[in-house]
Amino acid sequence: MSEKRPVKIQVRGLSKVFGNQPKKALELRDQGQKRPEILEQTGQTLGLSNIDFDVYEGELLVIMGLSGSGKSTLIRCLNRLIDTTEGDIIIDGENIPTLSTKELLECRRRHFSMVFQNFALFPHRTVQQNTEYGLEIRGVDKAERTETARNSLKQVGLDGWEDAMPSQLSGGMQQRVGLARALANDSSVLLMDEAFSALDPLIRKDMQQELLELQHRMKKTTVFITHDLDEALNIGDRIILLKDGEIVQIGTPEEILTSPADEYVERFIEGVDMSRILTARHAMRPVRATAREDDGPRTALRKMSENGLDSIYVTSRDRKLIGLIDADSADKAVKEGQQSIDSLIHQDFRSVSPDEPLHNLFAMFSDKGFPIAVVDEERRLLGVVVKGAVLAELAEAGDN
């Protein structure tokens, strides 16, 4: 991403040592020692080492890593549920590691709400009371917080469940309450710690979709932790890959897939079903030739034969897609002496947006073998996809 985006949280040189001699561990780290050696020599665990990254305003940033990579530690350092050893975490000009207890409380209330892996709902409180919790401790008056909580419950599709106890709800619903509780707080950053990992796969997909929609609607800055690459690729605007407490790669899902930073990332993405990640944009070829709506059948036929095509897309002057002509009907029209191609244009083809996943395209190829048109929101023709290109793209991705 080349564009400059407003930064919400700035993390610089963040390190965390678990143990009572952090200085010693960091010294060894600076001498180039890695986590296992440091543990062996000092008994200190280097949880995070020299982490630098930005969280942009309004983005959904995914921090991904296997267990032990330090991702849970990292997210807890952001709101200081875990104290950092060194480094800065700056949110709106405040450096979180240096805040006093009182300032930290205020900062947590204003900036952070959190969703937990095992939901962490208060079992003695109703759904409504759980949702109100953040507002209640801030001293928001009863009427207002009831209203706000009801709204957030509605947003996650739980209206009517206000008086239920958490234990009466399914896992998916409990996590919706967790999400509603976080949303009701209206903090500026949403922290999600493996929020969907405890849910079964189908519910999980639904929740990811809903989170995407919510995030799209509310533009809430979100930091999402997961160990699941599919999930990261599905929801992340950007992904940070973490290994042994260090950042391996930061990038968009595409960047990570197409140019993995090292072997570790490569091994990680091996298991990903590429046809779900790659989109029509990747397989699309530029259009070699198009017919104009005022071309005659003869011109159209010539353009086809010059480019070795069986069919040709017809576009208006501003490149908007009008329809398709195939060679057989153009040939017939020439023989019959027709002057216009209007009657030859048909709509017997599929058009998709460039973001359509490749795996959806397979079913779209018609028997006649017309290429699929890729169009933007204004139906301008961006390119075409032929069956061979999809397979080639997948094969290539598989090789990498």
**Given the rule CB under 8 A, which residues bind another protein?**
76, 79, 81, 105-109, 112-114, 116-118, 120-124, 133-134, 136-138, 185, 191
Smallest gap from Cβ 258 to another protein, in A, equals 36
Would you say 160 and 195 are in contact if contact means Cβ atoms under 8 Å apart? no
Smallest gap from Cβ 380 to another protein, in A, equals 47
In order of 17, 52, 53, 201, 222, the CA distances from 12 in angstroms are 16, 5, 7, 35, 19
Residues in contact with 262: Cβ distance below 8 Å, sequence separation at least 6, in sequence order: 248, 249
Would you say 303 and 336 are in contact if contact means Cβ atoms under 8 Å apart? no
Residues in contact with 287: Cβ distance below 8 Å, sequence separation at least 6, in sequence order: 313, 381, 383, 384
Helix (H, G, I), strand (E, B) or coil at 21: coil
Strand partners, 258: none
Which CB, 89 or 333, lies closer to another protein? 89
Q: What is 162-194 written as a DSSP string?
A: TTS-GGGS-HHHHHHHHHHHHHHTT-SEEEEES
Which CB, 191 or 239, lies closer to another protein? 191
Which CB, 76 or 243, lies closer to another protein? 76
Which CB, 185 or 234, lies closer to another protein? 185
Smallest gap from Cβ 284 to another protein, in A, equals 45
Which CB, 114 or 257, lies closer to another protein? 114
Which CB, 87 or 134, lies closer to another protein? 134
Smallest gap from Cβ 218 to another protein, in A, equals 19
Terminal alpha carbon distance of the chain: 23
> At 9, which amino acid appears?
I
Smallest gap from Cβ 183 to another protein, in A, equals 12
Smallest gap from Cβ 137 to another protein, in A, equals 5
Q: For residue 304, give the H/E element and its range.
A: helix 297-307
